[in-house]
Amino acid sequence: MQQISTTEQRLMDRIDAAAMLAQVELWCEINTGTGNLPGLAQQWDLLAEAFAALPGAVHKVEPAPVTAIAADGSEIATANGAHLVVSVRPDAPRRFLLTGHMDTVFPPAHPFQTLRWLDGETLNGPGVADMKGGIAVILAALGAFEASPAAASVGYDVMINADEETGSLSSAALIAELARGKAAALTYEPSALPDGTLAGERPGSGNYSAIITGRSAHAGRNPQDGRNAILAAADLALRLKALEEPGLSVNPARIDGGSANNVVPDHAVLRFNVRPRLPDLAQRFDASLREAIRVIEKLHDVSIHLHGGVSRPPKPLTEDATALFGLVRECGAALGQQIRWQASGGVCDGNNIAACGVPVVDTMGVRGGAIHSAEEYLIVPSLAERAALSALVLHRLSGGS
């Protein structure tokens, strides 16, 4: 194990834990539910001001167009906030990517809006772990890394998107663009477990809406003339669930549609999620899905339009990714932090980055837990711990010693 050098210790000494906590408290007072555009705009301004401390240019990137399917089957535009990109030494021959997200799962109407201390080291609040604490780690780590003699020879991009919690649909192309040619990437989701365990391999994830059009008729006078869209949706849901196999889960989640009890329903929307652990499973599911739709259309005499797809590709642990995990573990050991990793059932922007062929560790954020609930908490000492870990990883990735 390579111990901390004098140069590296100087980097660690630059990390200001109190300033990091103050940032988290300020940022978490702002509601940034994915659809809350005023809150996201306010957050963007504060982040732009904070990241201006780095020796690079701060850019506002408008969200790409995204559509969703309404309950009536119509395709509607969804609104997303602007994304923040910081580019430092863009012409450097070796560059890295660091990513986070400013949005949370808590809309303005959600009752969970305030911070409170659970004990002397544990802060409860919306986004404290997922992932405004992680954004503070990015900024502190890069501030420390900039003092490294090795920093001048490398560059990096930072991306903080505004739609990660809904699948990064308006930032997917931006992620792919920024990942291109990067030597490595770090993403700042909170650790997989409160003890700091990282997420290793991840499944992919796809969200679909199947819009089913049948034919209405009177349920008593002439039901034989109707084509029941609800029945077709239910049949499709059961057939999709039957496609599950080891490494592939399918979750039929909701059916919208229907009419009065005396009317054969001519419209339904089936919404479902699929999680394949390997790319070939995703491909096999897609073929089986198309065949199931063909069968349902013929059997029920309905038409089906499919919207959506796999937006988070599976993230297996490649040789390069395993090597990056090994470096993180080595740096953790030098800092007295025991680093482990395990497979996760969740997905994040790390999936998108890995699909570009870039090794990524995507749980470099704070230690905490109960994310996506009103019990979400941050273990406050982990702010400085994780910033030190990232600064050391970046230093050694850049050839520093």
Domain boundaries, the chain: 6-202+315-397, 206-312
Length of the chain equals 401
Structure pTM? 0.95
User: Which residues touch 71 (CB under 8 Å, ≥6 apart)?
Assistant: 256, 257, 269
pLDDT of the chain along its 401 residues, tens only? 579 999 999 999 999 999 999 999 999 999 999 999 999 999 999 999 999 999 999 999 999 999 999 999 999 999 999 999 999 999 999 999 999 999 999 999 999 999 999 999 999 999 999 999 999 999 999 999 999 999 999 999 999 999 999 999 999 999 999 999 999 999 999 999 999 999 999 999 999 999 999 999 999 999 999 999 999 999 999 999 999 999 999 999 999 999 899 999 999 999 999 999 999 999 999 999 999 999 999 999 999 999 999 999 999 999 999 999 999 999 999 999 999 999 999 999 999 999 999 999 999 999 999 999 999 999 999 999 999 999 999 999 999 88
| Residue 1 confidence (pLDDT) | 57
Rama region for 167: left / alpha / beta (φ>0; ψ in -120 to 50; rest): left
| Residue 2 confidence (pLDDT) | 75
User: Which residues touch 157 (CB under 8 Å, ≥6 apart)?
Assistant: 85, 86, 87, 88, 90, 95, 96, 97, 98, 178, 182
CA 130, CA 33: separation in Å to the nearest integer? 12
CATH of domain 206-312: 3.30.70.360
Residue 220 CB burial class (10 angstroms; 0-12, 13-18, ≥19): exposed
Helices (DSSP H) in 307-381: which residue ranges?
319-334, 349-354
Amino acid letter at 274?
Answer: V
| Residue 154 confidence (pLDDT) | 98
User: Which residues touch 352 (CB under 8 Å, ≥6 apart)?
Assistant: 168, 172, 175, 176, 179, 312, 313
| Residue 401 confidence (pLDDT) | 84
Sign of the alpha-carbon torsion through 45, 361, 104, 203:
positive
Q: Which helix (H) or strand (E) holds 13?
A: helix 6-13
Comparing C-alpha atoms, which of 79, 95, 104, 102 is closest to residue 159? 102
Burial 112-124 (b: 16+ CB within 10 A, else e): bbeeeeeeeebbb
Contact 394, 141 (CB under 8 A): yes
CA 386, CA 381: separation in Å to the nearest integer? 9
Residue 188 CB burial class (10 angstroms; 0-12, 13-18, ≥19): buried
Comparing C-alpha atoms, which of 294, 313, 306 is closest to residue 206? 313
Which segments of 54-153 are extended strands (E)? 57-61, 67-69, 75-77, 83-88, 94-101, 116-119, 122-124
Rama region for 247: left / alpha / beta (φ>0; ψ in -120 to 50; rest): left
Amino acid letter at 9?
Answer: Q
Angle between helices 133-145 and 6-13 (to 10 degrees): 140
Contact 373, 227 (CB under 8 A): no
- DSSP code, position 73: S
CA 212, CA 61: separation in Å to the nearest integer? 36
CATH of domain 6-202+315-397: 3.40.630.10
